[in-house]
Each structure stands twice: as C-alpha cells, then as structure tokens.
Structure 1
Amino acid sequence: MNKNLGQSWTERRTRKRAQELWSRILSQADGLSLRNLIKLRSDAVKLADTARQFSQVASNEIGKSLAKNAEIAATKRADWAWRPEVFFHSGCVHTQINPTSGQELGSNLTLHHDAKNPEMIVRQTPTLRSTNLAPFDFVMEVYDFEGSFLSLAFDLPDQALDGLSNQNIFEMDLRLSTEHTLPIFARINVQHGPNVDEQIKEITELGTQFNVEFDLGYMNLNENRLEKVWIDLIFDDAQMNKIVLHDVTICRRLRAQF
C-alpha cells in the first residue's frame, strides 16, 4: 500500500483542477441545458457520496491515531498525555437539550451549571475546519441562561496519578471559538485524602489557541493519598452564545530543575 497515495504533484494538481471545474460549473449552472443539468447532478451526487465516505473513514482513522497520544507526549517532552475522546471518537456524546447540571457527556467529561432552566444544546459535530487535527468539535449553544456559570469538568484518567508529585506540571492546550467574547477560566483540582487543592488561571480570549500551565510545586500535596485530578473549564455570562471546543489536550511533565 502506498501510504502517500494522493500526495504526488500530479494527484494534488488533479484534485485542484477538479475543484476549479466544479466551481466553474456551479457559477454557470443557471445557464446550462436541462439535459446537461441532469447529467451533472448525477455526477455530483456520486462524487459527493464518495467524498463523504472518505471523510468518515479518514475521521475514524485519525481518531485511532489520536487516541494513542504518543505525538502529544513527544512534542511536549511529557511522561503522560491525553486527549478526551469527544474530539476523536464518533458518537461518544449524544445531543443533549437543556441538560441538567452533572450531566455526563461520554467518558471523563461532565457538564455543570447553576441554572434552574438552562436553555441550551450540547452536541458533538464533525469539524468544519480543514486545519483542525481532531476530527470532531464539541459544541454548546447557549440561549436564555439564567445561571451565573457554565463549566466542563475533564476527569483525568487514573494514569495521570501514576508517580504524580509536586515536581510535576500539567499543561493544557485548547482550541476554542465563541460567537461573543466572555470570561473563561481553567482550574485544576487535585484531591488528596479529604483535601482538594486548586489552581485557577484566566484565559484571555484573543484568538482560538490557548495554553495553560498548572505548576503543582505551589500545592501542598499529600503524595501518598492522591485520589483524583480534574480540570474545569469555566464560562461566565455564557447566555446567548455559541461555544465551540475544537480540541483539548493535556500532558504532564517535570518541573525544570535548577
């Protein structure tokens, strides 16, 4: 099997010329004969069906690769890395209308809010951005929302606790977009025995790519009683907004030693 199939200069040029041809046909569709329209429509349906099938297969294959997390760890020089399955596993989150607080959205992801009657929709959708690595987006469409906060809790897998100490840093990379800017915060929570230590960072929304670091060296952890780690993404004043998470990755690495 040729792993670079479709990437030769000739093949890339052929695809580009095909796109240009169909764009030209589209721009002149109102002047084509009925017979020609019928034939071209049939060709377009066949082409669209093949493209749709390839997109689905490609998304599944990309998802299998992203689930391994090896690329994240290597890039960050991390000893542990993770991407929540909502961004690579199709169908792991079903569409929820007016979800209650505490609603689980697939594994390791929970929605929280303090609204009595939340008018909102949450769902997983195929990404519309060709530059996105993750094949799926997580979308929250918020309408009349009387609560003061809306948050997503990412429960880190148990492997994140293996060998964890206050010499570690957790790093979160996320891509998100919103219809309107709003206050966003990221908070890490480390439960050790009866205690929960927290760090919170404000995310300045001046783009779509963000990086947040949590240095556990500033926490007084009981490393012998570590039980759970989770990270909250908190959205204040979320009403009448569309919030799209395009990707989230979390990794763990050692603090710099001097």
Structure 2
Amino acid sequence: MAGRIGTLINRWHLRRAAQHWAAQAEAVSGIELAPLHRLRGEAKAMRRQIDRVLQAAEARLGPVAALPRMALGTDWVWRPDVWRRACREAGVIATGARTAVSDDLALYHDCPLGEIALRQTRNRGEADRAPFGLSLDVFGFQGSFLSLALTLPEPAVSGLTLRHLIEVQVVIESDVSLPAFARLNLQHGPNVAQVVSALPTMASGLTVAAFDLAYAGLGQRPVTKAWLDLIFNDPAMTRVTLRDVVVSRRPRAEL
C-alpha cells in the first residue's frame, strides 16, 4: 500500500511540474528580464537532469552496444560517446572552424561556406555494432581540410610505451568512395608526435588503421595527451556516415 501511495504522489508531483513549466512557457514573453534570467537558469538545471535520464534510458533501451572482438593482449578499448548514447542535440550546422559534437569529439575545417551538417543517427541494421552513428553531410566545400578529432581518455595514455600498438576501427557508409586518413597525435612534454595512416578508399564497410608507437618518434618523456584525427579529402557534395568507431591498444608481440 505504501509503495502505491508513493507512486501516486510522484505522479501528482510530475503533473504539477509539467503544468508549472507549461505555464512558464506561455508567460515567458511577458516576464521581466531579471526574473527571466533566473527562470532560464532553473530551466537549464532541470534540462540537464532530464537529459541524464534520457541518455541513460536510451542506452538501456537501445540496441546492445557490443564491442567487437579484439586482438589477443588488448589492454584498453573504447567507443566514444557519440556512438554509445544519445546526444543532447542530435544535429548541428558546422559554421565555425571548430564545432563541438560531444565532450570527446569535435569537427574542424577551414571552409567559409558553412555548408557542413552533423547529425547523430540511430543504427538499426542487424549488422550494426553500435547503438548510434554519426552522419556528415557536406555540400559546397572550398576549404583545405575537414577532420573529426577524437580526444582519447586518460586510460588510453596511462602506462603507454613504445611497445604499444594503437588501433582504430571505423565502419563507414558513404555515397561515394572518399579518400580518408587517420592521424594519431601524441603529446609528450612540449612536443607532439604524429603518425598518419591512410584508410582504405571505399564507399562502405569496416576499415582499420594501426599505429606502431615504436615508429612515432617519441622521446623519453611520457605521453600525457592523445587525440585522433579522421581526415577526409575532397568531401564536397558527400554524405558520410560513421556507423561505429572503436579505438584500442595492445602491446606489440615480441619477436
């Protein structure tokens, strides 16, 4: 009985809250600026909590985010947030030089036209490994570069040595075969080492790039930060959907 009463009370509070915010939405045009600032802050705080609930619910109710089978000895594997859970904003127009997509993903370009759109999509195919994908629509393009930058989390660089291999798996779907590259950036002290790997030119399918840190030109200082650039050449009038992105690392096998 107590549980049923508690449920009824919670539903009553929920209805009252919905009625309150509906009334505020109707009245917002007539509210003075000082109270309006406070109301906006309250609404943003409420939205953050609602977004947390929605993201957690989407993660549980969506397809199982199964990671692919990794090579023997893999000691770290990671799927970025965009491919794991729903973003607060599903779509964005990349008008500036940098557009944040999530905490660990940003788009960079130098095209002045502002004709680049990013949209998170729901993966629904039987072969899809991740719950979500990321579509990149490029119309006119007059820039020299376009790249997606993934900031790798701290566990990726913790204990990283010259014996490690870092691998990125990308499932691509595109309306044309698009030249693309993966570039691993490793900050060690004041310097940044870069290793570039060409991604096989294809319209769709799984592509893999591996980086052997023995050839990265690292010094004696430990790596403190790492990020990965996915670079697309000649992207004008193209739609590219990244169905999945998974980054992993493993020690190189001893010869």
TM-score, length-scaled by structure 2: 0.72
* AA aligned opposite 1:216: L
Q: Distance in 2 between matches of 1:253 and 1:92?
A: 33
Match of 2:86 in 1: 90
What SS does the aligned partner of 2:168 have? strand
CA RMSD of aligned residues (A): 2.4
User: Matches of 2:61 and 2:130 in 1, distance apart?
Assistant: 8
* Corresponding position of 1:135: 131
Residue 203 (1) aligns with residue 202 (2): no
The residue that corresponds to 1:250 in the other structure is 247
- Normalised TM-score (structure 1): 0.71
Q: After superposition, what is the alpha-carbon deviation per residue over 1:153-175, rounded to whole angstroms, capped at 9, x for unaligned?
A: 01100111110011100011110
Give the secondary-structure state (helix, strand or coil) at the position aligned to 1:61.
helix
1:92–1:211 distance in 2 versus 1, CA, 3 Å: farther
Could you say if the C-alpha distance between residues 187 and 240 of structure 1 is closer, same or farther in structure 2, counting changes exceeding 3 Å? same
Residue identity opposite 1:148 in structure 2: S
**2:206 aligned with 1:236, yes or no?**
no
CA distance in 2, matches of 1:62, 1:178: 28
Letter in 2 for 1:210: T
**Per-residue CA distance 1:99-150 (angstroms, 9 max, x = gap):** 3222111111010111112202101011142210211110111111111221
**C-alpha distance in 1 between matches for 2:69 and 2:185:** 22
Match in the other structure for 2:214: 217
Aligned counterpart for 1:79 among listed residues 75, 79, 83: 75
What is the correspondence of 1:163-182 to structure 2 with a 5 Å cutoff? 163-182=159-178
Contact 1:86/1:92 (<8 A) preserved: no
SS of 2:107's equivalent in the other structure is strand
**Whole-angstrom CA distance in 1 between matches of 2:169 and 2:77:** 11
Q: Which residue of 2 aligns with 1:3?
A: none
Cα distance, 1:208 vs. partner? Answer: 1.1
Q: CA deviation at 1:226?
A: 1.9
How far 1:79 moved relative to its partner? Answer: 0.7
Say whether the 8 Å CA contact 2:73–2:251 is kept in structure 1. Answer: no
User: What residue number does 1:11 align with?
Assistant: none
The answer as to whether partners of 2:68 and 2:129 remain within 8 angstroms in 1 is: no
AA aligned opposite 2:110: D
* CA deviation string 1:179-216 (max 9, x = no partner): 11121001101011111111111112234111110000
Aligned to 1:111: 107
Could you give the per-residue CA deviations for residues 32-61 of structure 1, whole angstroms, max 9, x where no partner exists?
Answer: xxxxxxxxxxxxxxxxxxxxxxxx999622
Q: Which runs of 5+ in 1 are unaligned?
A: 1-55
Aligned-partner Cα distance in 2 for 1:78–1:92: 32
Aligned length: 200
- Whether contact under 8 Å (1:168, 1:255) holds in the other structure is yes
Distance in 1 separating the partners of 2:82 and 2:91: 12
1:160 to 133, 156, 161: 156
CA contact (8 A) 1:98 1:117 kept: no
